[in-house]
Chain A
Amino acid sequence: METFILLTITGLGLGAMYFLVASGLSLIYGLMGVLNFAHGAFLTIGAYATWWFAEQLEGSIGSPGLRFFIGAVLGLMAGAVVGAVVEVALIRPLYQRHIEQVLVTVGLSLALVALVQAIWGPTEQLYPVPEWLFDTTSVFGANVPNDRFVEIALAVVTLVGLLAFLRYTRYGLIIRAGVENRAMVTALGIDVRRAFTLVFALGGVAAALAGILSGVYFGSVDPERGTSLLIFAFIVVVIGGLGSIVGSAMAAVLVALTQQYVNFYASAGIGDLAVVLLLAVTLLVRPAGIAGRTVVAH
């Protein structure tokens, strides 16, 4: 029973990262029709930026917790900046040419990961995580590492925040309307392109957050981190239904728990295959995914 609880909470922690990556991908796709292959690179950059800033602060700030926190805030900002710059400089000039936009993000994903590898080397870097995150808390007899709760809490906050943003703000309204029918929004005289940059920046922040949390979860960061998480995020996006935030959240939990349980109860590695099988079954039964239609905020 303790093992089961530990597995479940750990699975939810993993699901939190999948959701953070998938929500950005899904929103970008829903609004712009762009599959952002560079999303994994955003994640890697966010994770590395946090690590690098925290290292640089070592002389000036004594408390490792504060160092990590400041590093993480700067890492999130790096994610936002990279996302916005990529949209403005590379995606926008190819407006409405979806194939070329996808190809540019493919090239970018290869180039950025190679760049990170060239600068900081191919081997993993230890993550400067504050001690208390590695301590455990007892939940019904199971000793769960504290970082799992942080991951889950931040993902829930992001989910609620995103939904509130989409529902109650003017930009949220434009994004929702844009997902439904972009041509109509443009016809009404609203410049949707500003919303594009915003969505890319938001996606960059969410990806960077996922990267930082993955550094905490695995205790280290390496250049391939983004790519490996991105593939599972793709699976989550398809199972959840393209363009749906809530669908992504549900699918992230489903995928991560399946992966954890099967990896433990069957054999390590089989869980990853089980997730792909889950994808195949979803496509056979319900090709449009859990959320089915093009709704962002229910």
Chain B
Amino acid sequence: MRTGLRLGVAAAVFALLAVVPYLSVETHGVFSSPLDSPGTLQLLGLMLVLGGVALSYDLLFGYTGLLSFGHALYFAVGVYIMAIATTHWDWALWQAFLFTSLVGLVLPFLLGSISLRVGGIAFAMVTLAFAEAGSVLVDKNPRAWTGGEEGVALAFDKLPESFVGVLNTKNLYWLALAYLVIVFVIVTWVVDSSPGRVWQAIRENERRVEVLGLQPFRFKLMVFVLASFLATGGGVVYVLLIGGATPQVTTPAFTLALLLMVVIGGAGTRWGAVLGGALYTFLDNRLLDWSDSAAVRKLPGVLETPLSEPLFVLGTLFILLVYFIPGGIAGVLTLRPRRGLRQIEASLRGQEAEPATAVDDGAEARA
């Protein structure tokens, strides 16, 4: 019965989101233009895409307890390979899509096999290093494919007509919504399946999973590949929505942003991660406009200078959030504000106690 109710609520929310392009509502400065204008629809589409990507990251971090700092790499794979394949290699859209999917499966399989050899904090550092390699590669601009700092535009003549032009922004919005629905359905289904239960068991106590005769490595690799693949899908939708790839999506700052999104929304919850991703994207886009507004400019310099930097505001908000509501938005809504991060804490300790990592700092004493 409860599952039925939840499915009903989810369906209703998604249905409501689907009719947004038909609502000509004034937004009173929340967005820069009315709800059904192309500019607002594009930002809403971005919020939906990054909500889905944040949810894919939550599979790793919230559900399995893997603190990855390299998730942006797989998102960037979707963004860049789609753009490069259509422009520089002159491939048709479906060919580019198939190839991107293939890379989106093989690359996380290879890199996951290597980085999952270490756990806990070392895993975080190694995934960051791999993501940085991707960033360096894009910056290096091999064969002028990635375009370095300029980025690379998507070849619009390869797109179906209904995805081109300002008037068709609503179609891209629906594409973004479809992506989010697909990710949401997959994640809902998979965390309740038997591998999904093992992932959550790994988060709670990895050694116990091992003692039960299961191999945590295989399950961790499975969730790593799945989450990365979903992120690659998000990258594909993103590049269609934005119309090109920029090196911004490969930077360490973007990788950290994904972590911020999940924690803001509530780690280990589906709605929370989606909300966090959407809200972060919204703030990241709108804070810059607001900081330019008269209200902020009237402030004295001591306040005005830092408030003009969106990352300063977001970073500070994030620290306060970790202190006072570690369960994120979802924690507040479900009246369990301290749950989210505490669950994952156990996994970090469990992985530290593994013989594979260098430091065993008295895990027994704390357990």
Minimum distance in angstroms from A113 CB to a CB of chain B = 7
- Asked if B125 and A238 sit within 8 Å, CB to CB, the answer is yes
- Asked if A118 and B312 sit within 8 Å, CB to CB, the answer is yes
A289 neighbours in B (Cβ, 8 Å): 358
- Asked if B356 and A287 sit within 8 Å, CB to CB, the answer is yes
Question: Does chain B have a CB within 8 A of A75?
Answer: no
Complex CA gap A270/B137 in Å reads 8
- Among the 9-residue stretches B5-13, B26-34, B88-96, B303-311, the one with 4 or more Cβ atoms under 8 Å from chain A is B303-311
* Partner of B114 from A100, A103, A283 at Cβ < 8 Å: A283
Question: Does chain A have a CB within 8 A of B283?
Answer: no
A283 neighbours in B (Cβ, 8 Å): 114-115, 117-118, 126
* Partner of A118 from B128, B308, B365 at Cβ < 8 Å: B308
- Asked if B348 and A98 sit within 8 Å, CB to CB, the answer is yes
Complex CA gap A106/B316 in Å reads 10
Question: Does chain B have a CB within 8 A of A160?
Answer: no
A293 neighbours in B (Cβ, 8 Å): 358
- Asked if B319 and A90 sit within 8 Å, CB to CB, the answer is yes
Within 8 A of B (CB), among A192-212: none
Question: Chain B at the A interface: mostly helix, strand, loop or mixed?
Answer: helix
Known pairs A242-B121, A269-B140; A284 contacts B114 (CB<8 A): yes
Known pairs A29-B121, A241-B358; A102 contacts B316 (CB<8 A): no
- Asked if A227 and B366 sit within 8 Å, CB to CB, the answer is no
Within 8 A of B (CB), among A63-105: 90, 93-94, 96-100, 102-104
Closest chain A residue to B251 by CB distance? A227
B316 neighbours in A (Cβ, 8 Å): 107, 111
B308 neighbours in A (Cβ, 8 Å): 118
Question: Does chain B have a CB within 8 A of A137?
Answer: no
- Among the 9-residue stretches A2-10, A51-59, A272-280, the one with 4 or more Cβ atoms under 8 Å from chain B is A272-280
Rank and list the top 7 A-B pairs by shortest CB-CB distance, nearest first. Answer: A111-B315, A183-B365, A110-B315, A114-B312, A107-B318, A269-B140, A114-B311
Give the A-binding residues of B (Cβ under 8 A). Answer: 67, 114-115, 117-118, 121-122, 124-126, 128-130, 132-133, 136-137, 139-140, 252-253, 256, 259-260, 263, 305-306, 308-312, 314-316, 318-319, 322-323, 326, 341-342, 344-345, 348-349, 352, 356-362, 365-366
Give the B-binding residues of A (Cβ under 8 A). Answer: 29-30, 33, 35, 90, 93-94, 96-100, 102-104, 106-115, 117-119, 179, 181-184, 227, 231, 234-235, 237-238, 241-244, 268-270, 272-273, 276, 279-280, 283-284, 287-289, 291-294
